[in-house]
Amino acid sequence: MIRNAPLHLRCRQFHSLRVVDLNPVYQDAKKELIQTLWQIVDTANSQELGDLIKSICESYDELQKCEVDSLRLESAVEQGKQRYKQISDTFPPLNLENWDQYARDRAPSLRDYIHGVEEVAKPPQITEQDRLLRALPYIWQDPLCMLPDDEGTEEGVQIEGGRLELICPITCRPFQQPMVSKKCGHVFDKEGITNYFDGHSSRDCPQGACVQKLALRDFVPDDIMKLRCLIQGKRTQNEDETPLDVL
Ligand SMILES: [Zn+2]
């Protein structure tokens, strides 16, 4: 016996309906934005840099909106399917008497149900790429600024009067290849940290007052700090290039 007959023959595929997962496309697009960012920070002159960074921030905003829309649609389709199934279950099972009626009547469209649902989508996942792209407008404004996400939790870097220092605590020189500890968030230059661990498999974090036991493998490149240094470098370069007669 057929139970829970679908409203219409064309609804056979109904339960396999899925929203295409666009997440990999969004992640690739973010990677490309970041590659472009490194390229322009490296090659663009400081006059054109502002416009290019603005355009990257705008593209990222668009991307975020699309990401949220996709998650909303995904959630709406799932909820719409649930409601459709609930209603479908209340219809009498298909039999010879009602066969003609089922075949003749127009089945309601899933679209009708999707539009009626409450839009409760899960928030997008924040990746390392997101952290960098979200930090970009703030860092462009002020490479030494505290980021809004880090307020109250930022302990990993040297802070002087609410602003960051772009100096490695080990080498006491500006960061060249900043590396961040995944365990405590402290940042050191690659050269300094490599020398510090020379001949040791693990040691205390070199940051004063941090008692974390660390190994060299606990460090990963710190792209946010790298971005700060590169943009700060461009700013200083710009100041040096400004002709004296306009000062
Ligand atoms: Zn530490």
pLDDT at 1 over 80: no
Q: Which residues of 197-234 are buried (b: 16+ CB within 10 A; e: fewer)?
A: beeeeeeebbbeebeeebebebbeebbbbbbbbbbbeb
Q: Which strand (E) or helix (H) includes residue 191?
A: helix 190-196
Rounded Cα–Cα distance for residues 30 and 27 (Å): 5
Cβ neighbors of 49 (< 8 A, separation 6 or more) are: 40, 41, 234
Please give the span between the terminal C-alpha atoms of the chain, in angstroms, as a whole number. 89
Quote the pLDDT of residue 230: 94
pLDDT at 19 over 70: yes
pLDDT greater at residue 73 or residue 178:
178
Ligand 1 center–CA 185 separation, angstroms:
6
| Radius of gyration (C-alpha) of the chain in whole angstroms | 28
Ligand 1 center–CA 236 separation, angstroms:
29
Ligand 1 center–CA 136 separation, angstroms:
25
Ligand 1 center–CA 23 separation, angstroms:
34
Ligand 1 center–CA 178 separation, angstroms:
14
In this prediction, residue 246 has a pLDDT band, given cuts at 50, 70 and 90, of: very low
Q: Which of 98-112, 130-144, 164-178, 183-197 has the lowest mean pLDDT?
A: 98-112
pLDDT at 247 over 60: no
Work out the percent of the chain whose per-residue pLDDT is above 70: 80
pLDDT greater at residue 198 or residue 5:
198
Q: Which domains, from first to last, does the chain contain? A: 1-141 (1.20.120.1010), 166-247 (3.30.40.10)
Ligand 1 center–CA 157 separation, angstroms:
9
Q: pTM value?
A: 0.78
What is the residue-averaged pLDDT of the chain?
Answer: 83
Ligand 1 center–CA 189 separation, angstroms:
13
| Residues that place a CB less than 5 A from ion ligand 1 | 184, 186, 205, 207, 210, 212
Quote the pLDDT of residue 64: 94
pLDDT at 237 over 70: yes
Ligand 1 center–CA 158 separation, angstroms:
11
In this prediction, residue 219 has a pLDDT band, given cuts at 50, 70 and 90, of: very high
In this prediction, residue 202 has a pLDDT band, given cuts at 50, 70 and 90, of: very high
Per-residue pLDDT tens digits for 120-130? 777 888 999 99
